[in-house]
Amino acid sequence: MTLPEHALNPTPSPTTPAPSPVSPAGTRLPQTWVWTSVALGVAAAIAIISAAMLWQRLNNIQQQLALQSADSRSQAVEARTLARQADDVSRDTASRMSVMEARVGEVALQRGQLEELVQSLSRNRDDTMVGDIESAVRFAMQQSQLSGSPDPLVSALKIAQQRVSVSAQPRLAPLQRAIARDLDRIATSKSLDTAGLLARMDDVLRQIDDLPLQNDVLDKNARRSAPARGRTGQPAPAAAATASASANATADDPAAPSWWLSALSTAWGVVHEEVRSLVRVRRIDYPDAVLLSPTQAFFVRENLKLRIMNARMALLGRQMNASRNDLAAAADAVHKYFDVSSRRGQQAAQQINQLQQAMQDVEVPRANDTLAALATAAAGR
């Protein structure tokens, strides 16, 4: 806004005519009024200028505020857009993080399951080996109890010791030491040779059919007179040959004894042996044994076989007293019904006596330390 030139410049122009001279009293009042008017005009001009400047400044401020408001609005829109985008990004990131966490959880779970599976396989292998060793040791102990020989138990313990040493598990070290102690104890203990005793019993059973009875007279006569001997101590065919040789020598040498004397002596020896075999005088301790018929002799042999077989079954059943009793009864039957003066009778009686002496109550050692170590290892799974 512009002001009139006279308002901006209140000073009177030089072309203005000078006032007419008046009297001092009459001219003082207009001059005061003029100066007052001039002051008011200057004040009004200053006020107007200030108002104009203030108005211009307000316009500038208003324009700046409008620009700032527009900028603020645009920035707010941009901020809102960025916030929305950030929200979307955060949601996407959160969803991806949740998916990643779920996958990480699954991977951790699978890893845990895999580790448990590996440990389970390792434990199952060790537990299976411990169970197999325990079953084998118990089965070997039963076999040893039945057979009376510690060989099955020793074999089972050696196999178990080899398997434990191959596995190289520290928690199975006590089991290995226990197996070593059991092997040392079994090696120093006494054992019964059951297989040898059974073989000897089978040998006695095979000899029973050939044992001579006490009333077996024909067999004894045949054994005694089979090669009939003459005075020269040679058999009959040899004596005949000697007689013929003597006859030839007599024909050649007149000073030699006659051949008929040699033939006579040979014939006398044969007759003498035959007469001696017809009559026998001996002591009979068991009269019933001499009076056995062939049928009774068959049953005597069968009963003796049954006695030996019962002793064999008692030995397999670890019943030593019953086995000794059966062998004692078999020995009495051999001495009562069979000829113990013969070679076969003496051999059978000697074998039965040896079997009686070998029947001892020998306890088969048990693998108690190994079983205790196996139980500890199975409990520490």
Which parts of the chain register pLDDT below 70? 1-29, 119-124, 191, 216-258, 277-291, 361-362, 380-381
Q: What is the pLDDT of residue 256?
A: 45
pLDDT of residue 310: 92
What is the tens place of the pLDDT at every residue in 266-309?
888 887 777 776 666 666 666 666 667 788 888 888 999 999 99
- Report pLDDT for 27: 53
Distance (Å, rounded) from C-alpha 159 to C-alpha 167?
A: 12
Give per-residue pLDDT as tens, 19-45: 444 444 445 567 788 888 888 888 888
Query: Tokens 């080899």 — which residue?
Result: 162
Q: What is the pLDDT of residue 280?
A: 62
